[in-house]
Every structure is written in structure tokens, then in C-alpha cells.
Chains A and B, each alone.
Chain A
Amino acid sequence: MVAKVCGTPKEAFLKVCEYIAETAAPNKTMTNLYALGWTEHSVGSQNIRSMAIIQLLLGNMGMAGGGINALRGHANVQGITDFALYAQNLPGYLAVPSDAEPDLKTFLEKKTPKMLRPGQMNFGQNLPKWYVSLHKAWWGNAATKENGFAYDFMPKLAGASDVLSIFDQMYQGKVHGFLCQGFNPLASVANKKKVSDALSKLKYMVVMDPLATDTSEFWKPHGEFNDVDPSKIPTEVFRLPTTLFAETSGSFTNSGRVIQWRWKAANGPGEAKDDTEIMATLFLKLKDMYAKDGGAYSEPIQKLTWAYRIPTKPSPEELMMEYNGKALADVLDPKDPTKVLVKAGDQLPSFAMLRDDGSTTCGNWIYCGVWSQAGNNSARRDNSDPSGLGQTLNWGFAWPVNRRILYNRASADPSGKPWDPQRTVLKWLGDKWGGNDVPDMRPDAAPEQNVMPFIMTGEGVGRLFAVGLMAEGPFPEHYEPFESPLDNNPMHPKNPKARANPAARVYKGDMEAFGTAKDFPYVGTTYRLTEHFHYWTKQSKINAIMQPEQFVEIGEELAREKGITAGDKVKVRSNRGFIKGVAVVTKRIKALDVDGKKVHTIGIPIHYGFKGATKPGFITNTLTPFVGDANTQTPEYKAFLVNIEKA
């Protein structure tokens, strides 16, 4: 069935399965590293969940060299996600309140997970401490027990707020202004035409970026590459040049959750300012305007904590200390209230010190400990690795609490002995847990107490069967992409409703913009080249020299059928538009046999556009469909339908 659905030869698939199954042995571990090849599908979350289930079954979680790991595409993708890149989350992945929770008590009762089996850690039960400390960091003295720690100040989520939904709302004319910070949506969001039409309905757009992005010139004609009529676009665009990462200090958080401080290397050019300075100046100006002119419900802005030495320039150091949090009053030991754990005014050493009575602040609970009384732990640079396992515990600071391997209790058997003594992560020392990592377990929880390793679930174990957590069902299921060369899902050939992910969201007009295999017989897939980084490096001369011009890749067989030879100009069309590029004919892309049908793939690198040092080109996302994964709404860039012809 697998070979029938995806075209992988049966023998090759079985060989891979064998390799994977071998890692069930205690002394053999497999890691799974995934990136956009798995996420950019309408079933992306299910792809990853499937592998998570396999890793749980094989006992590869919590082991040295195990787990399931997102390979981030940029030095700080992890960091930006930790700090609420997705508006559905607050910093540290805390839930955002909605109108359904009118007060703090209701909100916390609803969001705090219940213990599902006795004696487990159910670590999420600490949510009130994390959430109240966040409000104390943001609104300080204005957040009191009486006013629910300023619960009303927190904006309430009103429906979906992911990228696709925001651009759909914009497209419907429901958005007036757009602050576009370090983001080039015209190039990076699916269906360029829809994004361009959406931006055309704004009153204004402010672009904060080190580069003159394609988005900032969405209104400007660039020949056939950006065929627009500025007289019909009322949007006013402002460009605010910012510094680049090397022109400001701060931190990067990598795929392994290691937070690493970095130091400014050069001054920014011209009038470029740090993003924080621009945001701070804008905030102070708004605050001033509210004070002078009044306005509806200005309290959350008036009372926001803003205790920076230079109010228009919050320093990266001040911000990191604020994320870490401090004690507002002495933090006492709950077991012995005569003992002071943290003195009032001190930086907190760990989120175990957070309290829900308003006596602690913390801007992001998972970062607690990164800047303790000992100083900036993310700036530590001791790369010694005494265990030889790559456990450099004194290099930077990993969240949470400098733990390098999540669920590391699972690296030891129920009695506390390491599954693989050659690669000990954790072991029971008789009275406490020790080893080569910070235990992901209550330090004194003896093995016979049966406290299970998956401390974030209410039952303490990994979830093979998950009810109510995924948009889809409790088990992963195969669905075809929204645009597929197949008429049916080979696993459910008689159920048209199970063809594509039924839980995915499709907006009005986007379903109509899908094409069919009759008109677009080939599978298009987009990807990146080693020579470029997204849509940035096309602005850099050396990268432009290395890969100067847009191309598309096709297999030799399709090239013969279409009379295309390497170097020819070709036109690739989807139901949403077309792009042109140079044909690269390659043996690396072969026709697949899928459900008895020969399927050709066309590979399309993303990096080009009408702005930059590379040869002017089309935006690849002209082709891609405006539909995403049912859980994350990550667009389906990896599988859609196209046609190709000589240009």
C-alpha cells in the first residue's frame, strides 16, 4: 500500500523499515530530523505525529541521540517561536485567553491540565504560576490580586490569527494597517496573486526590514515579474530600515533549544535602527497620544511596564533579564516557610521559583534561569563535554532549566538503570537522579514511586492515542494533497470525503482556485538551494553569483516528452498563475508509479523575485495553493499541480 500511495519501490521501503526497526534494541538509537519537507503539507502535523509514535514505540525518546527534532531553517526560528511568533500563543507557548474566559479564574481552570493518573508530575498544573508571573512582568504594580493580575489588560483572541487567516481577512478588506516586520509575505505566502490583492486593500503598510523587499514594492510594476497597476492600489507604504542580526546584540535559540548570546559586530548602515528602538519609539508615541487625546481603554498601554534605562532603546540585556524574571518579594520554601529561596529583587534561578500570588515576574517561563543572579548564562562558552555524548552543559543555556535532552527519564529503565550504560543520560543514584543531564523528573522521585517520564501529560506517559488534541482524529491517517494527480485516496477509494484532509480549512474562493490533473498533470514541489537563504540572499552579490537565475528541474523522461533540453526557457503554470525559468534536466527526478499511474514531478527552487542582485525573476509562490495543515496552517508548498511548456 505504501508503494502504491507514494511510488517508493517496495524493496527500498522495506529496507528503510528494517533499519528503523533495528533501533528498538536498547543500545541502538535513531534520531529523526525533519524540516519543511514534512511540515509543508495539509497533513504536516500528522507526518510528524506518525514519527513521534514510531519513536515512542521503539524507545527512542529521551535517549542520547534520539527523539524527534525540528531542524530550524534559520538561526533563531526556535527563539521567535518561543516568543509567540504564532499569535495563538503567548511567550512560552502559554494559551491566549479568549472571550469565552471572562475572568482569570475561569481561564486558569479551563487551561490548567488535570492529573489523569495518581502520582504523576502533570507539570502543566503550574500554569497559574507561569501565567500570573507573565502579567506581573508586563503590568507590574497595576497587576493586583484584586483585578485578577490585570487579566482584562490582555488582548483576547478573536478567532484564527495565523498567516493564512490574516491574509484572507486582509483580502476581504477587514484589515486597515499592516506592520510587516522581518517578513516578505508577497514572496513567502502561498498564492502571490491573492496576497498582492490583499495588500492592495490596506490603507497603509509599514515594512520594517534591513532590505528593500519584494513586499515593500508589491505596488510597483516590474515587467511581467510583477504585473500590477499602481494607479489602482491605494495602499500607502512606509519603509523603516532596520539593522541586521550582526548589527545588534541579542541571542539566538537553536534547534536544540540552546540559547546563545551573540555580540554586535558592526554598526548598521545609514538611518537603520534596531527593531526594538523602532517598536519602543512607536509605543511611546502611542502612549503619549493616548495621554494627550484620550481613547478607548488606554489602561493596558498606559500601565505597561517600561522601566528601561533609555526608554526609546530597551537594551537586549534588559530584555533578557525581564524574560528571565525576578522576585518581587522573598520567595519562600513551601516545605519550610522560614527558608528564603530567592531574596526580593534577585533574578530567579528557575521556573520552580515562580509563584501565582504576584510575588514573581517572568516574561517567558521556559527562559527562566537564562539570566539568574549568576549573570547571563546564555553567554557561557565552556565547550567541555565530560560524558563524550555532546552534553556541553556549560555552553549557553538550554530551556528548560538547562536540560539538553527532553524526557530524559525515559533513557533509564523503570528501576532507574540506563537502557544503554555506554551512553548514560540519567540514572537513579539511590536517593536522587543523576547522570549527564539535568533530570527531566522530580529529583527525588524514587523509581518505585512510578512517576512516569512524560511529565507534561496528565497521565505521565506518551500518547499513542490522542483524543481532542489534533484537528484530525486520535490516530494519523493518510490523505492526498488538496491538488493531487489521483482522483481518490488509494486508502479510501470509495470515500470522496476522505480524499484530502477533511479537517483542513479552505477559504471561500480558494477551493475554486485549485486545479485538476486534467489541466495540470504534473506534481509541483518547491524547495531551497544551498546557495541561497529564502528571499534574503538574492540581495547579496556573492550568493547571486553562485546561483544567479531562476530555474526549474525536470526529469529526463518528461524533458523528452515535452521536447525540452537543459538551458531552455520554460513556463510553469498552475491554476493560480505562471512563472518562467531555465530548465535543468536531471536524472535526480524520476517518474513515479503511483496507484498504477505514471507521475512526473517538477522541482521549483523558491529564491527568486523582482528585487535583488540575482537576475529578476518570478515569485515561485505565484503557483502554490492557499491551504495549510489542519493544525498549524503551514501552507501546502510541497505538493500541488502544474503544467509545463517551452516558453
Chain B
Amino acid sequence: MALQSLDIKQRSATTTPSTQVRQTVEIAKLIDVSACIGCKACQVACSEWNDIRDEVGNCHGVYDNPMDLSAKSWTVMRYTEVEQNNKLEWLIRKDGCMHCADPGCLKACPAPGAIIQYSNGIVDFHQENCIGCGYCVTGCPFNVPRISKEDSKAYKCSLCSDRVAVNQAPACAKACPTGAIQFGSKEDMKDYAAKRVTDLKERGYDQAGLYDPQGVGGTHVMYVLHHADKPDLYAGLPANPSISPLVSLWKGVAKPLATLALAGVALGSLFHYVTKGPNEVSKEIEDEIEKEDAK
């Protein structure tokens, strides 16, 4: 999101080698769905820390609100009522960026330095470099990034990279009243999850488990699920997420073609300039711009 002191592992559309000297710890946020009460304190904390305020919407007949992720809602609770083993369960999943080890958004991004992966695992958007093309949306296997209507830039959870850089837990983890959001090294989080899974199994959730999908190289936001065999129960959490083949196509075969196409456009423009002269701005448009400036 902003200037930071974290080491960078990779940057979108950049071939400059990354730093190698410092040793950093891989971090993770663990969301224990079985301990979540759906209070939305994490949503509130996210809005407050990141200075984002979504619209005051309407009730759509469910507890979810705002209804979906947006440029101003980087995390939302998704509530599902299911009957499992003849018992009603209210599954509440905190949705947001998973911070994939192999981030589809970064891979798809054509704007140099708009998407960053830090050596600690956080995938961050640097909006000042974002061109608003929306390729990250296509590239994301979890349908997370959203393009702002105000500035045409992509936004999503930064895992509070600014807080993490100064040894603070993300705002959501800090605000959670039940300890359902834990934060620490990925290793510690896996250990913690293992204890939770054992506990859940003892309580009759035979299929309890950790969600850390390997199709994207594992994630730096993980879930403890009571029904790890059916992630789809949790508002459509994908069972085997992977990066869209379109992204590989773009990065592989299509990229040189696209470069060629861009070169073609440039050549065309030159031809246009030579034959027709510079584009002229009409008087009306100039007046319009002046009026805007006067505001």
C-alpha cells in the first residue's frame, strides 16, 4: 500500500533482481472459523486502520454487509447456515486476500511494481503504479481484488503490511475478541492450527483441518475449518484453487505477441502523426477542462 521497510521478493512486470541479504521470517494469519462469532469487529478495525469507509447500504435479507468486497471493503464476513450431522451450523468465513505464495495477481499484472510480494509472504498492491487494467482480478483464484470507480486502481487487503513492518499484528487480528484471528510466523500458525484441529476432532468434527491450498503454493492467510473436506460449504471457498490458464498464456506465449501489438500501436500513432499532424483539442473540450479546474 505504501512505502515500507520490508524486503521485496518479487515485483510485477519487473526483472530487476530482488534483495538477498537479510533473513526474514515467513508470516501468516490464521482464521479459526470454528471460533468466529461473526461480530464484524475485524471489518470495523480494517476500515479504521486503513481509512476506508464503504457506502451505508441496505439489508438484503442476510447478516452479510457490505454484501461483497470492494475498493473500500477489504474484508467481509460471509454467513452460511448449513445442516451437518443433523445439527445446524452457522458457518462464518472472513473473506479477503489469501496472500498466495504463488500470487496469480502479481503474475498477471503488466504494470511494473504495481504488485509486490515481500519476502515475509505479504502480497501488496502499490496503487501509485497501478494502471487499472484489472488483470489482477482475472489472475486471482479467489476473486478478491476490486477496481475503484473513483481512481480506477485495484485495492485489496494489504495484511496491514505497514503494521507488520513495525512488528504489529494486522488490525483485524488485534480487534478480534475471541482469538479467531491469530497472527505470527507461518510455522507457529501451522502448529497452532494443528492444536485446534486436534481439539475439533475430539469434539466430533472428524474432518476438521487446515486450509493452506498447495495449488497456489500455500497461502499466508489460512483457515481452520471444521469441515476441511468441504471448503465449498464456507460461501464457496474453492477446494483446489489455481491460477487461471489465461494468466500463464499471457505470461508465456501471448506476452511477446502483446509486446508486438503494442509496438504496432506505437508505429501506427507515428504514422498518424506524420500523415495527419498532432491531435487538436477542440475549443469545447478546453472550456470544459478550465471549468473543472476552476472547481
Contact = CB atoms under 8 A, between A and B. Distances in A.
Contact of A530 (B37, B58, B62, B83): B37
A582 B58 contact: yes
A583 interface: yes
Interface in B51-92: 53-63, 65-66, 81, 83, 88, 90
Interface string B36-53: 011111011001100001
A531 interface: yes
B2 to A, nearest CB: 22
Interface residues of B, number: 26
Contacts of B83: 587
Nearest to B76: A546
B65 A545 contact: yes
Contacts of B48: 542
A73 to B, nearest CB: 15
Contacts of B41: 530
B62 A548 contact: no
Interface in A550-601: 550-551, 565-568, 581-588
B59 A588 contact: no
A546 B40 contact: yes
A614 B63 CA distance: 15
A544 B56 contact: yes
Contacts of B54: 545
Given A531-B40, A587-B88, A588-B90, A550 B56 contact: no
B73 to A, nearest CB: 8
Given A545-B47, A588-B81, A566 B56 contact: no
B59 A582 contact: yes
Contacts of A567: 59-61
Is the contact region of chain B dominated by helix, strand, or loop, or is it mixed? loop
A473 B61 CA distance: 45
Contact of B65 (A546, A588, A613): A546
B82 to A, nearest CB: 9
Nearest to B73: A545
Contacts of B62: 566, 584
Contact of A584 (B44, B53, B61, B66): B61
A541 B40 CA distance: 14
Contacts of B53: 541-542, 545
B47 A549 contact: no
Contacts of B81: 586-588
A198 B63 CA distance: 36
Nearest to A568: B61
Contacts of A565: 61
B57 A566 contact: no
B66 A588 contact: no
A380 interface: no
A562 to B, nearest CB: 14
B63 A545 contact: no
A66 to B, nearest CB: 23
Nearest to A531: B40
A547 interface: yes
A146 to B, nearest CB: 57
B58 A615 contact: yes
Contacts of A545: 47, 53-57, 65-66
B56 A615 contact: yes
Measured as residues with beta carbon below 8 angstroms from the partner, the interface class of chain A is 20 to 34
A550 B65 CA distance: 13
A545 B53 CA distance: 8
A551 B47 CA distance: 24
B54 to A, nearest CB: 5
A565 B61 CA distance: 8
B239 to A, nearest CB: 24
Given A545-B47, A548-B65, A586-B81, A530 B40 contact: yes
A613 B44 CA distance: 15
B66 to A, nearest CB: 7
A588 B47 CA distance: 29
Given A542-B48, A545-B47, A550 B59 contact: yes
A541 B56 contact: yes
Nearest to B66: A545
A45 B81 CA distance: 35
User: Which among A531, A546, A565, A582 has the greatest number of chain B C-beta atoms within 10 A?
Assistant: A546
A549 B59 contact: yes
Contacts of A614: 56
Interface in A501-554: 530-531, 541-551
Interface in B178-203: none
Nearest to A551: B59
A566 B61 contact: yes
Given A542-B47, A588-B90, A583 B40 contact: no
A530 B90 CA distance: 15
B100 to A, nearest CB: 28
B74 to A, nearest CB: 13
A397 to B, nearest CB: 25
Contacts of A568: 61
Given A545-B56, A547-B65, A582-B61, A531 B39 contact: yes
A567 B81 CA distance: 16
A548 B61 contact: no
A588 B88 contact: yes
A29 B43 CA distance: 36
A545 to B, nearest CB: 5
Contacts of B40: 530-531, 546-547
A613 B39 contact: no
15 contacts: A530-B37, A530-B38, A530-B40, A531-B39, A541-B56, A543-B44, A545-B65, A547-B59, A547-B65, A548-B57, A548-B65, A549-B57, A583-B61, A587-B81, A588-B88
Interface of A: 530-531, 541-551, 565-568, 581-588, 613-615
Given A548-B65, A550-B59, A588-B81, 4 more contacts: A530-B38, A546-B44, A549-B59, A582-B59
Top 7 closest A-B pairs, CB basis?
A566-B61, A567-B61, A530-B39, A549-B59, A582-B59, A587-B81, A551-B59
